[in-house]
A and B are shown apart, each in its own frame.
Chain A
């Protein structure tokens, strides 16, 4: 018996489902980018208070 919640649409999209790992990896990339940008900026900000 087929799953009543599984429509042709969701079946099709499942074929191209990225693993959660891909999205988590992207989280890591964007957070690392932000940490890099913020840390570089904080170094510049420190000059304001010296």
Chain B
């Protein structure tokens, strides 16, 4: 039965302004970006369930693992069904996650919170994250880095909104935040249902053969940018996909190592920094993470994807070395260096869809991106594990302060160098993986095909 959610019901009429598309993507990413503000609920949940931090931390871990898995396995479905249906399904899962989670809190059933926020909400995260990517790339073939940077910036910005909003709601509903959890989660569910539904309603795909005015698509591959297309099934068999997987893994591992430990780290480096100032440092890193997504990804449209990743990884390695060798010399140096590292972390996330488009074409870039996000799940485990385990071991060895991080910072330098080498090894995809030159939904390819015909 035809539905208004179907891809062919979302085709934009001629003359549709492409700048009406980014708010749809931002609406979804700003909503699901709430997951990075989950820590706001940690202590109230510990109080409510009368448990320790570890079982509560599992909720977030399940959500992130489900994000990677659903993006990997749902990517092809998203490509086939279009952005509106994907955004709608994402909204249903994300909102249901809050509702089921709230039921779990209300009935003191922690497993229901795992199922709701973790599993069901996590599926919403994965589907929502990839839902606007290929659509934006098709609307902005001339500036794919800017377009995906704008959307993925929303994922970083979601926590900036959700964190103060959730704190405010918790204190508004109850004196003890643990007693305001259910109402807060229900309120967030309603808010996200409205905003994400608006995004799904507004989103449009470009008509077949559409290209922005004045845009002349390349008719043959130029350097790293191909005009051919590779399917998701073929892409994962190429060396390039796995090199990009390693690049994303290394970049995320290094960034998340600081992000996850930011507050205790600055207090260990500088004993004069109190908890309030440390919270300011965490906020500053969030801003750098968000800004880097837009600024660096847009810059990649000008200087190219491989050079920008050489900066993320090469300069990032140097900055980590500065932290390791001179991080204790001044708070300003520490803050500026960590801020730059986090901007590269965000930039790495936002630029990768455009890198994939360059390498594999626009045909199934969303599905390929989904598969690549398994690197994020793996890095989400590896990064904190390295930093926390080493810090624990150093504490056991009687060390303290900045010495707790000396080894892990050097390990991160090595991780980034591995990523830098992987980036240097990236070459154009072998033509044997290219799809036959049949019409597809990539405007550049279609325009080229039309011209050739």
CA distance A5 to B207 in the complex (A): 10
Given contacts A10-B11, A22-B202, contact A45 B284 (CB under 8 A): yes
- Complexed CA–CA distance, A48 and B275 (Å): 10
A35 to chain B, nearest CB (A): 10
- Let me know if A41 and B27 touch, CB within 8 A: no
Q: Is A46 an interface residue (CB 8 A)?
A: yes
Which chain B positions have C-beta within 8 A of A41? 160, 164, 283-284, 286-287
Known contacts A13-B9, A38-B160; is-contact A44 B23 (Cβ 8 Å): no
**Docked-complex contact A13 and B27, CB < 8 angstroms:** no
Whether B8 pairs with A12 at a CB distance below 8 angstroms is yes
Contacts of B207 in A (CB 8 A): 7, 9-10
B26, B157, B280 interface centre (most CB from chain A within 10 Å) = B280
Asked if B11 contacts A34 (CB within 8 A), the reply is no
Question: Known contacts A36-B161, A48-B335; is A23 also within 8 Å of B24 by CB?
Answer: yes
Stretch from B132-140, B193-201, B318-326, B342-350 that touches the partner: B193-201
Name A7-50 residues within 8 Å CB distance of B: 7, 9-10, 12-14, 16-18, 20, 22-27, 29-30, 33-34, 36-38, 40-42, 44-50
Task: Please report the C-alpha to C-alpha distance between residue A42 and residue B207 in the assembled complex, in whole angstroms.
Answer: 42
Shortest CB distance B172–A (Å)? 15
- Contact indicator B20/A5 (Cβ below 8 Å): no
B284 touches A48 (CB 8 A): yes
Partner of B202, one of A5, A18, A34, A50: A18
Residues of B within 8 A of A30 (CB): 23, 26-27, 30, 154
Chain B residues whose C-beta falls within 8 Å of the C-beta of A14 in the assembled complex: 13
Rounded to whole angstroms, the CA-CA distance of A3 and B163 in the bound complex is 51
Q: Looking at the assembled complex, report how far the CB atom of B11 sits from the nearest CB atom of chain A, in whole angstroms.
A: 5
User: Which residues of the other chain, A, contact B21 by a CB distance below 8 angstroms?
Assistant: 23
B279-326 at interface with A (beta carbon < 8 Å): 279-284, 286-287
Q: Is B12 an interface residue (CB 8 A)?
A: yes
A37 and B161 contacting across the interface, CB-CB below 8 Å: yes
Contact of A20 among B20, B162, B163, B286 (CB under 8 A): B20
Residue of B nearest to A37 (CB): B160
Contact assessment for A46 and B202 in the assembled complex, using a CB-CB cutoff below 8 Å? no
Q: Which residues of A contact B4 (CB under 8 A)?
A: 16
Q: In the bound complex, how far is the Cα of B13 from the Cα of A7, in angstroms? A: 9
**Which of B161, B276, B278 has the largest number of chain A CB atoms within 10 A?**
B161
Report how far A19 CA is from B202 CA in the complex, Å: 9
- Closest A residue to B17 by CB, please name it: A20
Instruction: Tell me if B277 and A26 are in contact (CB < 8 A).
Output: no
The answer, yes or no, to whether B251 is at the interface (CB within 8 Å) is: no
Does B10 count as interface, using CB distance less than 8 angstroms? yes
A50 to chain B, nearest CB (A): 7
**CB <8 Å contact, B11 and A9:** yes
* A50:B161 contact, CB within 8 angstroms: no
Nearest A-chain residue to B20, judged by Cβ: A23
CB-contact partner of B161 in A25, A26, A33, under 8 A: A33
Q: Residue-by-residue, is B132-167 near A (CB-CB < 8 Å gives 1, otherwise 0)? A: 000000000000000000000010010111111100
Q: Chain B residues with Cβ under 8 A from A50's Cβ?
A: 277
User: Is A44 a contact of B11 with CB atoms below 8 Å?
Assistant: no
Nearest B-chain residue to A40, judged by Cβ: B164
Chain B residue with Cβ nearest A26: B23
Instruction: Kindly state whether residue B436 has any CB partner on chain A within 8 Å.
Output: no
The answer to whether A23 touches B284 (Cβ under 8 A) is no
Closest to A27 in B: B23
B276 touches A47 (CB 8 A): yes
Contact of B280 among A12, A27, A33, A44 (CB under 8 A): A44
Contact with A along B165-194 (1 / 0, CB 8 A): 100000000000000000000000000000
Docked CA distance A3–B21 (Å): 25
- Cα distance A33–B343 when bound, in Å? 21
Q: Are A26 and B202 in contact, with the CB atoms below 8 A? A: yes
Besides A14-B13, A34-B160, A40-B164, 11 other CB < 8 A contacts?
Answer: A10-B13, A13-B8, A13-B13, A22-B198, A23-B24, A25-B198, A27-B22, A29-B27, A29-B198, A44-B279, A45-B284
Of the A-B pairs whose beta carbons lie under 8 Å apart in the complex, a sample of 12, sorted by A's number, is A6-B14, A9-B11, A12-B9, A13-B9, A18-B202, A20-B17, A24-B20, A25-B198, A26-B26, A30-B27, A33-B157, A41-B286
Interface residues of B (CB under 8 A from A): 4, 8-14, 17, 20-24, 26-27, 30, 154, 157, 159-165, 195, 198-199, 201-202, 204, 207, 273, 276-284, 286-287, 335
